[in-house]
Structure 1
Amino acid sequence: MTDGKTEQSARTRQALISAAEELIALHGVSAVSSRQISKAAGQGNNYAVGHHFGSKDDLIRATLDRHNATIDRMRQKALDAIGPDPEVRDWIRCLVCPEIEYVGGLGAPTYFARFFANVSSDPATTILLYEKMGESKPLLAILEGLYGALPEFPGPVLEIRNNMTRHIIVNILADIERAADSGDRPVTPWQHQCSIVVDALTGMWLAPVTPTTATENHP
């Protein structure tokens, strides 16, 4: 009996995760309630999210975890393959390509990348992403390598280029997923998409800093 309840609970949790992922991908974080997620997951109990996860934030964490384990393995594989004297481009490839490869391999329909983009853009849940980033040893190793390979930048320049990198990666992933889901146009192979993004981000990070940007103090 206990095993049966455990299996049923696991199935319910997965149903809630899938429902949350799709609804938040399509409508955004703030527009989706725990009750709506419970209903979409086929649960008669409107408080199923609270019962199985504790809160909507905890459900979002669980949804991220479902994908992050595989992405981390792909990040580690990219790290293991990096050469003995990696340059900025090599680190950016380690940062970008595992995520693009993962989303490209999910097939359609899938909602993870759009879910991720909406969680990233909502001020109330962005902190959840940073929590998960801090738990990823391969990601932290990649970022440490990237920052070590970069030229020295003034603080504001580093902050803005960091934000630009995050926005580019998150929104490109969502665009890839959206294009695959719509079927309106041929989907570019993930390897080619990866090269395009790596080229763009490498150019951005290695772009010169104008003297005024380096010396001005902005309020």
Structure 2
Amino acid sequence: MPVVIPSTKEQIVRAAERLFAAHGLDGISLRQIGAAAGNGNNSAVQYHFGSRDQLVQAIFEYRLPWLHERRTLLIAEHRPDDLRSLLDCQVRTLLEHSELPGSHYLCFVDMLRQYGRSDVFEGLPAALRDSVREFQERLGGFLPHLVEPLRARRVAQAMAFIVDAAADRERAHAHGRPVVPFALQVTDLLDGMVGFLKAPASPRTLAVLERTDPAAAVWPAFL
């Protein structure tokens, strides 16, 4: 079987994903990314992507289609009709991705959240943004006990927790550390997330919410 050699752009994207995940957005130069991709041209990254922000967008566009297609396939196969079964499609998709050799994508996303870079979401192609929003709104449909904007915030927080768990697993694989068996992590994470999402809002939370600007209660969407 012939060996498939990644294109120069793909090599740069994968190198950037790995280095950004490890060092943050400002901890590595475009020149260092180009060198890590095996390109001797000091301007290779700028030539292919133009800027750091465009390179960040390229990483999303490289990874997200697979993630969204996989989740869509799981939804079509399992026809989820309750919160747990729908959430399972997201948990399974991200944990499966954490098993991919050479991927640092989930650690990269985790890093962006820590940097507060929710703005990158708005720069994604409309189809990918819509897929994220539609899935999260569908999850919210199983949470009638929560008022808005608390419902959307709770869903977005759950998505962030799942990313954290998947990033930890991806990081452990990268460093050769042991991981929990896949099936156990899926079901245990689901237990925790379903419990978190189904938890009622306390009277105290509702009272604080009434005094809070709705815009301040929004949690940025990722994935």
Fold shared, TM-score > 0.5 on shorter chain = yes
Question: Cα deviations across residues 18-71 of structure 1 (Å, max 9, x unaligned)?
Answer: 210111111111212222212222333322222101211111111122221211
Unaligned runs of 5+ in 2: 213-223
Q: Which residue number in structure 2 is paired with residue 64 of structure 1?
A: 60
Q: Deviation of residue 142 (structure 1)?
A: 2.5
Question: Cα deviations across residues 96-133 of structure 1 (Å, max 9, x unaligned)?
Answer: 211111222x03x432221121123223x322135448
Kept in 2: contact 1:19–1:40 (CA 8 A): yes
Q: Name the structure where helix makes up a greater proportion of residues.
A: 1
CA distance in 2, matches of 1:133, 1:94: 22
Kept in 2: contact 1:133–1:140 (CA 8 A): no
Distance 1:93 1:132, change over 3 A: farther
Q: Which residue number in structure 1 is paired with residue 169 of structure 2?
A: 176
Percent of pairs with identical residues:
29
Letter aligned with residue 178 of structure 1: R
Question: Cα deviations across residues 59-88 of structure 1 (Å, max 9, x unaligned)?
Answer: 11111222212112211111102337x111
TM value normalised by structure 2:
0.81
Are residue 50 (structure 1) and residue 46 (structure 2) matched? yes
- Pairs within 5 Å for 1:83-94: 83=79, 86-94=81-89
Kept in 1: contact 2:91–2:190 (CA 8 A): yes
CA distance in 1, matches of 2:132, 2:71: 7
Q: Deviation of residue 156 (structure 1)?
A: 5.1
CA distance in 2, matches of 1:97, 1:40: 31
Q: Which residue number in structure 2 is paired with residue 95 of structure 1?
A: 90
CA distance in 2, matches of 1:53, 1:130: 18
**Larger CA deviation: 145-154 vs 54-63:** 145-154
| Equivalent of 2:127 in 135, 145, 154 | 135
Question: When the two structures are aligned, how many residues end up with a matched partner?
Answer: 206
TM value normalised by structure 1:
0.82
Kept in 2: contact 1:101–1:191 (CA 8 A): no
CA distance in 2, matches of 1:50, 1:119: 21
CA distance in 2, matches of 1:22, 1:57: 16
SS of residue in 1 equivalent to 2:63:
helix
Q: Which residue number in structure 2 is paired with residue 5 of structure 1?
A: none
Kept in 2: contact 1:96–1:198 (CA 8 A): yes
Kept in 2: contact 1:21–1:111 (CA 8 A): yes
Q: Deviation of residue 93 (structure 1)?
A: 1.3
Letter aligned with residue 128 of structure 1: V
- Pairs within 5 Å for 1:19-168: 19-83=15-79, 86-104=81-99, 106-107=100-101, 109-123=102-116, 125-132=117-124, 135-136=127-128, 138-155=131-148, 157-168=150-161
Distance 1:103 1:13, change over 3 A: same
Letter aligned with residue 122 of structure 1: Y
Distance 1:118 1:134, change over 3 A: farther
Unaligned runs of 5+ in 1: 1-7
SS of residue in 1 equivalent to 2:140:
helix
Letter aligned with residue 57 of structure 2: R
